[in-house]
Amino acid sequence: MSLYLLCLSLFLIGLYCVLRKRNIIKIIVGIIICEYAVNLFFVLVAYKIGGRSPIHSPEQAIENMVDALPQAVVLTSIVIGLATTALLIGIAMRIYQKYGTFDITKIRELNG
């Protein structure tokens, strides 16, 4: 329970950054922190006390493995996160090229 709450507080830090900051790069940082927290929460739910990693070995029979399904889901989610982050950065750099600033409140004033 306490681990879940710590993971939730990590998510909330990222949410605060997205809501409050004005720099586009800071907003991207907040989105990435939220993504880390969600990925970590999936793997936390999958953990089993005294479990082993879900990979069979030729020498010994491994019992008591951890849950493999959330790990497989997170594996695809991480790569998608990198691709969407790159897309966000491309949009941010285009905005900088056009308006000359990263500040979201000044973008409207400087159109040209």
Partner 1 sequence: MIDLHLLLIAMIIGAIIAVEVKDLLSSVVALGAVGLVLSIAFLVLKAPDVAITQLVVEILALIILIRATLRKDLPFSASGRWVLNTFIAVCFIGVILVVAYKCFKDLPEFGYPIMRVAETYLKEGLPKTGAANIIASVILDYRAFDTLGEATVLFTAVIGVLALVRRIGRKRADETISDKEEY
Partner 2 sequence: MSREHDKGMSVIVKTITRLTVGLIFLYGIHILSHGHVSPGGGFAGGIIVALSFVHLMLAYGKDVALEKLPRGVTSLFEGMGAIIFLSIALIGFTSGYFFINFLAKGEPFRLFSAGIIPLCNIAIGLKVGAGLFAIFVALVLLKFDTESKENKK
Interactions with partner 1, residue window 76-95 (CB under 8 A): 76, 78-87, 89-94
User: Residue 79, interface with partner 2 (CB under 8 A)?
Assistant: yes
- Encode burial over 9-24: b for 16+ CB neighbours within 10 A, e otherwise: ebbeebeebeeeeeeb
How many Å apart are CA 68 and CA 76, to the nearest integer?
13
Q: Which two three-digit tokens encode residue 97?
A: 């090229």
Q: Which partner from the list partner 2, partner 1, none does 43 bind, CB cut-off 5 to 8 Å by kind?
A: partner 1
Which of 11, 36 has the CB closer to partner 2? 36
Q: If we measure between CA atoms, which residue out of 84, 79, 3 comes closest to residue 47?
A: 3
Can you tell me which of 6, 8, 73, 90 binds partner 2, judged by CB under 8 A?
Answer: 90
- Closest CB 98 distance from partner 1, rounded Å: 11
Looking at 50, 56, 63, 112, which residue binds partner 2 (CB under 8 A)? 56
Q: Are 64 and 48 in contact (CB under 8 A)?
A: yes
Q: 71 - beta bridge partners?
A: none
Catalog residues that contact partner 2 under the rule CB under 8 A. Answer: 53, 55-56, 58, 75-76, 78-79, 82-83, 86, 89-90, 93-94, 96-97
